[in-house]
Structure 1
Amino acid sequence: MKGIAILLFLCFSFAVNAGDFRLGKVSKEELMEKEHFLDPSANAAFLFKRGNTYFDANDNGWLLITEVEVRIKIYKKAGYDYANVSIPFYHTKNSTENVVFSDAVTYNLVDGKIKRSPLKKKDNFIEEVSSNKSNKKILLTDVREGSVVEYKYIVTSPYVHDFPDWYFQQVIPVNYVEYTVNIPQMYSYNRIMNSYYRVNETSSTKRRVTTGGILTLTFTDVCRHYMSKNLPAFKSEQYIDNPLNYLLFVKHELSSITGLNDKTTDFVTSWESVGELIYESSDFGCELKEIHYFMDDIDSLVNGIVGKREKVNKVFDYVKNRMTWVGLHGISSRYGVEKAYEEKKGNSGDINLMLIAMLNYVGVNANPVILSTRDNGQVDYISINSFNYVIAAAELEDGIILLDATSKHATPGVLPLRDLNGVGRLIREDYSHKEIELNPIDHSKENIYVTAKLEEDGRLTGEVSSKYYDYKSMMCNEKYFNLTQEERIQETEADFKNVEIADFNYNEGIEASVSYNFTANDCVEVIGDNIYISPLLFYTQTENPFREEKRLYPMNFIFPSRVRHTFVITIPEGYKIESLPQPQALVSDMEIMGFNFNVMEQNGKIQIVFIEGSNYSSVGAEYYESLKDFYTKKISKQAEKIILKKK
């Protein structure tokens, strides 16, 4: 669920074969380096990063220990943040993780000599994040362009079920990275590895002795060593869901433990085992059985309602409107569903487990769907710790309806965007399960109608009226609902260039709508006796979102969409139409995207209809060239002009 400070690991470095990978052995050559040898634009780079995770024991049992050594080169001021290090650690009433920093030094080249600036005691502190999470932080001093910083930290954790995630690749170059994992033979972990780049891997075993309490244990470690060199900085691109899905990483999930008596306890070996774990949990399965706190309210709510779909809608709206999501994710209840119901607030577990219990109470077959939110990364493997969210699934005769009552603007079948992340897993009380596709397949629509009057000087005035459906509607509501009228105008003006807006009107609802008056000055060019008009006015797209030569990663559009633009432009008196762009329809390979452009003249007015859309939530990188070419042609079409000539 957590993983060790991913943000910490976002860094890079210089030529691998020139480094001495021992702390304190910074060279003049490293300090004199002006830019990264593979990526001159890099603000910083990991010269090396080395990690080692192993087990030890104390009087209370096993400990999971991770030691990390880091050397970072700072090239530019924008890289100074890499000298500020933050490592999260977790704690409860009965146990806590511990983080210890050492060997933290800033190196600079001053008058041809290497100057060391060790970490000061006052720059080593703890920041509280929540009741069970804090950050251990250090702020390295005397950081300049050209500095090299080093540090080491050790995380000691009693939570052997929560193995740290290791990211080889980061958002800055990594010259050299290695990671060693030592797991005692009695522990079994499922390994998950993402390998867009090559990692050298070796395996071995070794005998080890450790003392825990009164026992001295002799056992065999299963060791894996990973190493990679010259990893490029991860460059975020348009239409990418979450960079964490594509960084080079290795993760581990506890599968089973074999005790000294040779008895094996299984944890996550199958989806059935995941179901057993969560349903036997006091903050999940037990909470689903609690019904006494809402019975009277729900009896009154559904009195006289017979249809199951109507019951789903009624109960969903009741929970959504009563409860306030506190912004915390979780597959389990944080406050306890009864307390959350009374206080009218809770995390995702509180709210949606409550919803499931209520639906089952009124006779609707409802079950939890565990998932990983978009900001948590995709999970397409058997796991429990990697999931961080739960929603409801109502199983009706005509299909499954997904429900998430944490958002005031969600509707049955329309989830908050954070939920739309690959697949989730529906798990029933009998531990049977089903993979659930979270990405929508139906088009969300938007209709935009623009009436405009053109003046001789090129000024355009008019009105925009827009209607939104499904996910488009939810996004509109999320954008405008909590804003003042002035803020709504500012938000909308920021979407366009040199457009002034007045008389703004927003109607919240399942089918949201927006209308406003506008004055625009950049859509028309007057040259002599001619007027040149951009057919899509201030909706004209001028930049291709796909600018890279090649792409490694899938393209995520969140949901299929269909947008219809209709423009009716009244031309000024004394002008005639000299030329109009030709109609055009175009689709990309596999009909992933398409557009249709039509323009005509009627009674002194010009009518343009432009329909564009995408037919998939996401597609693979193999379609990148096709989509790049499609956008080039779409932008070229939008750049064509309507030409008016003075009579």
Structure 2
Amino acid sequence: MKDVLLILTCLFFINSFSQKKKSTKIGNVDIKELNMSQYDKDTTANAVVLYEHANYYIDENKDYKKTTDYYFKVKILKKEGTNKATIQIPFYGDEKVHSIKGISYNISKSNTILKKHLLDNQVYTKDLYGKWKEITFTLPNIKVGSVIEYTYSVTSPYSKIDDWYFQSDIPKIKSDFTAAILGNWKYNIRVIGFLKLNRNNASIKKRCVHVPGLGHGACLILDYGIDNIPAFKEEDYMLSKDNFISKLSFDLESYQNPRGGIDKYTKTWKDADRSLKRDFLDNQTSKKGFFKNQLPPSLFLIVDDLERAKKTYDFIQNYFTWNDKYWPSKKVRIKEAFENKTGNIFDINLSLYNSLQAVNIKSYLVLTSTRNKAVPTRLHPVIDDFNYLLVKAIINNKTYFLDATKKQLPFGLIQHIAINGDGRVMDFKKGSYWETIKLNRKTFRRINAQLSLDDNNNLNGNLTISSDGFFAVNARENLSINNIDNHLENFESKHPNIEVESFNHQNLDKKDNTLHQIYSITFDEIGSSNKLRINPFLIEKVTKNPFKLNKREYPVDYGYPRSNTYTLSLKLPEGYTIKSLPQNTALSLPNKGGRFILNFKNLNNTINIYSKITLNKRVYSSEEYHYLKEFYNQIIKSQDAFIEIEKASN
């Protein structure tokens, strides 16, 4: 991922000039665009952006507020692309969306252009949440082959400049962003993504505007653009696309006010640490006295540090119920949350932190973000990048990252959604720092089937699924929300050839131990003839490759290493002979990234199968993608194999 920081500044008090003249006007569609039937650079595309342009400037006609004029021209290539004619424009607070125009173009039988204009009564406004609203409209008379063209403007009193996305889910032929920015405003401008700019110009224009009472000012002129932009295609096992999709991102650093002073918006981590503790946490990190009185007295009698920490963790985890909320919209009040026995991520893990402090366990708070958000930038502190809080505990010189929000999480494991890059450890005495979040639990699943084939060609026996780490968390959560009947119904619907005679489990409530699910099963529809073909992978067979792209620019991020082991012992009755077994297979990923093993053995007319898929890495680079894709292809091919058995004729 390319993440380039461009620090652009001009220390003058200024306003804009005739930047508005650079805005693209509506009415630019020709016959050639209407006759276009496919986009040659991506023949799978449902639609293609022919041109788009955003132009940002200070609008003298809008009381010198910031205005961005938007222009879009899109070709509809397939029926699935007609949804591009429905436009949604979110806006906030005192922002105004105005000057909306739209035209849909089609071609007549006589090869002339037919136009249909968007009407004012086809534009709708609705409330979203808080101060957010949304403008929605759909261009009329849309069909395959149409070209749509629309413009609108957003005028804002706020200093924030919205990100400009060069990439989207459809390809683009040309995308431009231009701006004239007040010279006394300083922004950190990041170019994110893997695409290179075709236009990359920044300059200062002096005396570009005259403001009554203030004189002439200068402008910072920007001109960025990319041509022939491929669609951004999402795939399994990725972090938020905001980490990789090509865009411009603007972070306000400082403002020089008319008095000559500098107002800083981008702070150092020292500033951020201080403001986080004072303004947000509001002394909620010094409540160990409160929790010392709330914790069971027996906790303080436990001599072993690790055992004392685990029991404290268990108490907080079982006491609270997570309300499914992350970053709170108001200041944290953990006493209030404790009284209600419910809270957000910060309420619960701040309570855990204070409780560990109360029982004399060395611990720190750790800020991170969920996987649906961009990884927090390291260039400078942006507090809005974070929405999750963990606890780091150091016990006997070993580090544990803790998360008490979900009942099924064992000590040393956090929610998978919170594994999103490194965490920022908040050491309020020595200063915060970045640290890789390492997990203290291995994730694995072991499936063991002990089956016998009877004279009627039915398979009977036991199936045991043992799991730990995240696989166990998921299994326990599934069992907690479904009763046994629902669980078995879901299991049998997923495996229609298996009938469950009985079911039991071990360690369901002991989250620090391996979970065992034990099934007594009958496997039907093996066959009625004397010659049988049996696929030995009764469950958890890999049938689809999650990786289908020809090239993937961004890494594969599983979040954690994992292994899946499958063993089967199939005992045959007298009179049956094994005609053939599939080939043994062994595959390895480069850089010790993983391994697949599949072995078949025949011992005294009992078929023993051992298979193990191991992925040793949390993240695989884009260079390793091809190997990982082929790894899955070979697994699918190897598992799509059959044991051939023949029954002696009477």
TM-score (norm 1): 0.85
Q: Deviations over 1:269-326 (max 9, x none)?
A: 5332332332232x32433345676553136473424444344323333333333333
In structure 2, runs of 5+ residues without a counterpart are 1-22
CA contact (8 A) 2:412 2:439 kept: no
Q: Secondary structure at the match of 2:29?
A: coil
Letter in 2 for 1:531: L
Letter in 1 for 2:30: S
CA–CA distance in structure 2, aligned partners of residues 261 and 347 of structure 1: 43
Match of 1:346 in 2: 343
Letter in 1 for 2:235: E
CA–CA distance in structure 1, aligned partners of residues 140 and 339 of structure 2: 50
Q: Secondary structure at the match of 1:408?
A: coil
Per-residue deviation at 1:594? 0.4
Match of 1:17 in 2: none
Check 1:501–1:457 CA distance in 2 against 1; reply closer, same or farther (3 A cut).
same
**Residues 459-468 or 243-252, more deviating:** 459-468
CA–CA distance in structure 2, aligned partners of residues 611 and 105 of structure 1: 58
CA–CA distance in structure 2, aligned partners of residues 494 and 234 of structure 1: 35
Q: How many residues align?
A: 616
* Residue number among 258, 271, 283 corresponding to 2:256 in the alignment: 258
Q: Deviations over 1:208-262 (max 9, x none)?
A: 5476xx9747543323221111111122234333333221122122223333344
CA–CA distance in structure 1, aligned partners of residues 283 and 69 of structure 2: 38
Q: Deviations over 1:483-525 (max 9, x none)?
A: 3445433543465565455645563541333333445457x57
CA–CA distance in structure 2, aligned partners of residues 508 and 106 of structure 1: 61
Match of 2:562 in 1: 561
Per-residue deviation at 1:172? 0.9
CA contact (8 A) 2:401 2:412 kept: yes
CA–CA distance in structure 2, aligned partners of residues 163 and 321 of structure 1: 44
Per-residue deviation at 1:168? 0.7
Q: Secondary structure at the match of 1:251?
A: strand
* Residue number among 333, 352, 355 corresponding to 1:358 in the alignment: 355
Please say which structure displays the higher CA radius of gyration: 2
CA contact (8 A) 1:90 1:97 kept: yes
* Residue number among 511, 514, 517 corresponding to 2:517 in the alignment: 514
Letter in 2 for 1:532: R
Check 1:484–1:90 CA distance in 2 against 1; reply closer, same or farther (3 A cut).
farther
Q: Deviations over 1:529-583 (max 9, x none)?
A: 4322223334433444444443322122221112221111122442112233454
Match of 1:50 in 2: 53
Check 1:435–1:397 CA distance in 2 against 1; reply closer, same or farther (3 A cut).
farther
* Residue number among 346, 354, 371 corresponding to 2:368 in the alignment: 371
CA contact (8 A) 2:184 2:257 kept: yes
TM-score (norm 2): 0.84
Letter in 2 for 1:298: L
Match of 2:188 in 1: 190
Match of 2:266 in 1: 268
Per-residue deviation at 1:56? 6.5
Letter in 1 for 2:33: E
CA–CA distance in structure 2, aligned partners of residues 97 and 439 of structure 1: 43
Q: Is 1:467 matched up with 2:466?
A: yes
Per-residue deviation at 1:333? 5.0
CA contact (8 A) 2:106 2:145 kept: yes
Match of 2:105 in 1: 107
Where has structure 1 moved over 6 Å in runs of 4 or more?
56-59
CA–CA distance in structure 1, aligned partners of residues 565 and 549 of structure 2: 29
Letter in 2 for 1:616: K
* Residue number among 35, 43, 52 corresponding to 1:40 in the alignment: 43
Per-residue deviation at 1:36? 2.6
Check 1:433–1:534 CA distance in 2 against 1; reply closer, same or farther (3 A cut).
same
Per-residue deviation at 1:113? 4.0
Match of 1:540 in 2: 541
Q: Deviations over 1:333-368 (max 9, x none)?
A: 556333333333333233333333333344333322
Check 1:56–1:636 CA distance in 2 against 1; reply closer, same or farther (3 A cut).
same
Q: Deviations over 1:443-496 (max 9, x none)?
A: 312111112333567554443211111122112233443234454335434655
| C-alpha RMSD of the superposition | 3.3
* Residue number among 51, 73, 76 corresponding to 2:75 in the alignment: 73
CA–CA distance in structure 2, aligned partners of residues 274 and 436 of structure 1: 17
CA–CA distance in structure 2, aligned partners of residues 580 and 433 of structure 1: 59
Q: Secondary structure at the match of 1:537?
A: coil
In structure 1, runs of 5+ residues without a counterpart are 1-19
CA–CA distance in structure 2, aligned partners of residues 374 and 306 of structure 1: 38
Letter in 2 for 1:635: I
Q: Secondary structure at the match of 2:301?
A: coil
Q: Deviations over 1:188-221 (max 9, x none)?
A: 222322231221211112245476xx97475433
CA–CA distance in structure 1, aligned partners of residues 59 and 299 of structure 2: 57
CA–CA distance in structure 2, aligned partners of residues 189 and 228 of structure 1: 21
Check 1:491–1:206 CA distance in 2 against 1; reply closer, same or farther (3 A cut).
farther
Match of 2:629 in 1: 628
Letter in 2 for 1:354: S
CA contact (8 A) 1:316 1:412 kept: yes
Match of 2:407 in 1: 408
After TM superposition, the structure 1 = structure 2 runs for residues 421-570 of structure 1, keeping only pairs within 5 Å, are 421-430=420-429, 432-438=431-437, 440=439, 443-454=442-453, 459-493=458-492, 495-496=494-495, 498-501=497-500, 503-505=502-504, 507=508, 509-510=510-511, 511-520=514-523, 529-570=530-571
Match of 1:315 in 2: 312
CA–CA distance in structure 2, aligned partners of residues 77 and 534 of structure 1: 41
Q: Secondary structure at the match of 2:128?
A: strand
Match of 1:145 in 2: 144
